Amino acid sequence: MHSRIKHYTIALPLALASVAANAEQLTLERLFDDPSLSGKAPVKLQFSPDGSRVTYLQGKKEDYNRYDLWEYNLKDNTNRLLVDSAALFSGPENLSDEEKARRERQRIFGRGILEYKWSKDGKALLFPLNGDLYYYEIASGKSKKLTETEAFETDARFSPKGNFVSFIREQNLYTINLKSGKETQLTKDGGGVIKNGMAEFVAQEEMSRMTGYWWSGDEQQIAFTRIDESPVQEAIRNEIYAEEVKLFNQRYPYTGTANVEIELGVVKINDQKVDWIDLGEDKDIYIARANWLKDNKTLSYQWQNRSQQKLELRFYDTKSKKQQVALTETSDTWINLHFDLKFLKDKKHFVWASERDGFKHLYLYRTNGQLVRQITKGDWIVESLQGVDEKKGIVYFSGRKDTPLESHLYSVPLFKDGEAKRITEKGSYHSVVLAQDNRTFIDKSSSVNRPPAVALRKVNGDFVTWLEENALNNDHPLTPYLSNLATPEYGTLKAEDGQTMYYRLFKPAKLEDGKKYPVIVNVYGGPHAQRVTNSWRSKNLYFQYLAQQGYVIFQLDNRGSYNRGKKFEDPIYKHLGVVEVADQIKGVEFLRTLEYVDPERIGIYGHSYGGYMALMTMFKAGDYFKAGVSGAPVTDWALYDTHYTERYLGHPDTNAKGYEQSAVFPFADGLKGPLMIYHGMADDNVLFTHATKLFKQLQDEAKPFEMMTYPGSKHSLRGKKVQTHLHQTITDFFNRHFDVEPK
């Protein structure tokens, strides 16, 4: 086994070496203070349309959860406050249920300015606040309310040329002419089960499509979806708070049941006439994406069948009313959706991403559907298309060509063969935003023990300036703890089918000779996620805290995880909780070879899919995992939604056994060691019912277990007090069962 194991470490920044040896020990209370130990790295970074400004959201010093809009001005090289959120609206926000749900789906948390849009000319900004829309003029620094109604306005944006603002109100699509101030209602039948221009639940939660309407570039037309929710099963969902129970009638598409009925139309701005597009005889489908071609008369949309094994990119000509299938993607398992479609200014070509060769790569097509060439190749994945410089014939993309552990910006020729060239520096994980003129990019970089820093760079990678250096100097809140942070060890293991899996190992700073240490395996294990990277995550600080308490923390990205290609993902198809458990067992077998690991004190902890994995490993592999903590777990996939669940398990009518064997209940009698389950009692993603069903079965089988529930908490269990209590509870659980004295 040792011959198949590869070990390596990633160096920490030089700043660590200069910190005094008497550094402080981390505490749970300190971990969850606001601002966090990671410093005040800005979020939602954008370039202004002309590239002269970089704008970003930053929390106020006196209230880090309330965000203002800041700018770095490239003309005078100055960071400054651009818009104070309190100057727009200072009272407590009142949000509609729809907006609350949108924010939950987008994982947007906080107050003040949380979203903003630039006009195309860069002269104005649009802010949604407290259910209304605010128009801010850059030159004068003045704002005005565009709407002031009892109704709530959502999904607001400028039109492509900046002459209109569009939005959704009471499930209908509206525009405001910014010159005349005239408001026009484009759809009339919205309300009840009918929603115009809005993304349905599974589109938001599972397809990352947060909108249901799209402007043409000439501002003459808007494509939009019309959804009818009447076929979707109506369920009563409860949210339990400390002093009340709220009941919601919610149409939730449980796997195997009916989805919304969806139509796709194009409405003309001048007369509000709607043309409906023929989507075909099969009505049980998904509309995954929509984009306009540069000719402003052709709409592209991505049609996906219910099984998600077929995806068609279709072009609809709004003048001739004809359509064609430009290309078709098929899979024996499932097709991962993406946003990597770009129509070129020459009106003849477009760039598209596909996993047809087993790895996500970029392809160049003509608009008639003819493939020109494959742009990128290799046993590595493209993450996202960042931009195309048509004049120079260069494509910019984020990818994992050098290592699966780091994301980098690359360039590659558009029309001719050539190797992809890395632009960002190795040794860090990079999230980038490319300017529209392809001359500069925002580089947000971090490593496992270095919190994010944000720089402005030229497109060749040359440094221009810091937007937020976040330097680990004497003033940084993390500095007093640096010399006590463990340098994690990275390595690889082989799965049963020979594929390479990456792991990460946090150890106590000083291992005593002959001493055996307890291990906590931290797991997620599900699709579209990756935990073992050389990047900063605030969760890493909790692992550092546990290491200081005398624990070894082990993470392994099992098969089914993301950013490794489809061959690595596909083994989970139609049977969840099988290969993932087998791979985590491989991890424990490796841990047992380490002389400092106590094989009788190896536990597991995970949240969401990781909570599901904690249950499956405790139930199916109790000889390997001696204690477990399961957070907000899925227990029965029949309780989850159509698009996510059927993607991996197929339809319940055709894979009944797969659903049964992927639930935790058939294996609960295998529980041997101590188990704790925690869940937010207002969770609207993995419903609290998942936990209560398991509580009942374990009680019926006289299986002892511990539980902790959090009134009012959603799936992410946010808030300093909740997070502090939760992590203290997890730590105390393992301390008790692994006989560890708290430090």
pLDDT of amino acid 79: 87
Distances (CA, A) of 638 to 202, 255, 256, 631, 662: 15, 6, 8, 19, 10
Of 467 and 576, more confident:
576
Task: Tell me the pairing of strands 132-137 and 78-83.
Answer: unpaired
Check residue 218 and give its pLDDT: 98
* pLDDT per position as a tens digit, 281-293: 999 999 999 999 9
What is d(CA 132, CA 128) in angstroms, rounded to the nearest whole number?
A: 6
Residues of the chain with pLDDT > 70, as a percent, come to 95
Q: Quick check: 17 pLDDT over 70?
A: no
Contact indicator for 416, 395 with CB cutoff of 8 Å? no
What pLDDT score was predicted for residue 24?
A: 83
At 317 the pLDDT is: 98
Q: What is the pLDDT of residue 43?
A: 85
Give pLDDT, residue 66.
86
Q: In the beta sheet, which residues pair with residue 302?
A: 289, 313
Using the predicted structure, report yes or no on whether residue 438 has a pLDDT greater than 90: yes
Single out the catalytic residue among 48, 446, 608, 662.
608
Is the Cβ–Cβ distance between 172 and 265 less than 8 Å? no
Q: What is the pLDDT of residues 201-252, one digit of tens each?
A: 999 999 999 999 999 999 999 999 999 999 999 988 899 999 999 998 889 9
The pLDDT confidence band at residue 37, using thresholds 50, 70 and 90, is low
Q: Please give the average per-residue pLDDT across 542-559, as a whole number.
A: 97
Given a cut of 80, whether residue 4 has pLDDT beyond it is no
**Domain 39-182 grouped into CATH 2.120.10.30:** yes
- Is the predicted pLDDT of residue 2 greater than 50, yes or no? no
For 655-665, write each residue's pLDDT tens digit: 999 999 999 99
Give me the sign of the Cα torsion angle 135, 137, 143, 144. negative
User: Residue 684 has what pLDDT?
Assistant: 87
CA distance 146 to 185: 15
Number of Cβ atoms within 10 Å of the Cβ of 296: 17
Dihedral of CA 392/393/394/395: which sign? positive
* pLDDT at 193 (0 to 100): 97
Strands 285-292, 164-169: parallel, antiparallel or unpaired by DSSP?
unpaired
Q: Summarize the chain as % helix, strand, coil (round to 5).
A: 20, 35, 45
In the annotation, is 608 catalytic? yes
pLDDT band of residue 38 (cuts 50, 70, 90) is low
Q: What pLDDT was estimated at residue 94?
A: 77
What is residue 8's predicted lDDT score, i.e. its pLDDT? 42
Evaluate whether 42 touches 59 at the Cβ level (below 8 Å).
Answer: no
Q: How far apart are CA 293 and CA 278, in angstroms?
A: 19
Per residue in 67-76, is it b (16+ CB within 10 Å) or e — as a string?
bbbbbbebee
- CA max distance for the chain: 81
CB distance 47 to 433 below 8 Å: yes
The more confidently predicted of residues 389 and 481 is 389
Instruction: Give me the chain's average pLDDT, please.
Output: 93
| 143 in catalytic set | no
**Assigned CATH topology for domain 487-672:** Rossmann fold (3.40.50)
Residue 530 CA, chain-centre distance (Å), reads: 11
Residue in this structure with the two tokens 């349309």, named with its chain if needed: 49
The share of the chain scoring above pLDDT 90, in percent, equals: 82
pLDDT digits (tens, 9 = 90+) for 673-711: 999 999 999 998 899 999 999 999 999 999 999 999 999
What does the CA dihedral 431, 435, 439, 441 come to, rounded to 10 degrees? -20
73-78 long-range contacts, Cβ below 8 Å, gap at least 24? 74/440, 74/456, 77/465
pLDDT in the model for residue 35: 55
The active-site residue, picked from 443, 557, 583, 683, is 683
Band the pLDDT of 592: cuts 50, 70, 90: very high
**Model pLDDT for residues 160-215, shown as the tens digit of each residue:** 999 999 999 999 999 999 999 999 999 999 999 999 999 999 999 999 999 999 99
Q: How far, in Å, are 359, 509, 719 from residue 735 at the CA level?
A: 43, 19, 24
Tokens of 375: 């742009």
- pLDDT surpassing 70 at residue 36: no
Q: Break the chain into its structural domains and give their ranges.
A: 39-182, 186-288+318-330, 487-672
Q: Which of 338, 349, 607, 715 is catalytic?
A: 715
Q: What does the chain come to in residues?
A: 743
- pLDDT given at position 668: 98
Name the DSSP letter for residue 572.
Answer: G
What are the strands, taking DSSP E only, across 92-163? Answer: 111-112, 117-118, 124-129, 132-137, 142-145, 153-158
| Separation of first and last alpha carbons in the chain | 35
Whether residue 138 has pLDDT greater than 60:
yes
Note the pLDDT of residue 95. 73
What's the pLDDT at 6? 44
User: Which range is least confidently modeled, 55-64, 163-172, 232-241, 416-425?
Assistant: 55-64
Whole-number pLDDT of residue 447? 96
Poorest-confidence range of 110-124, 396-410, 550-564, 585-599? 110-124
Q: What is the pLDDT of residue 39?
A: 57
Q: Tell me which amino acid residue 511 is.
A: L
The pLDDT tens digits for 80-131 are: 999 999 888 887 777 777 777 777 766 667 788 989 999 999 999 999 988 8
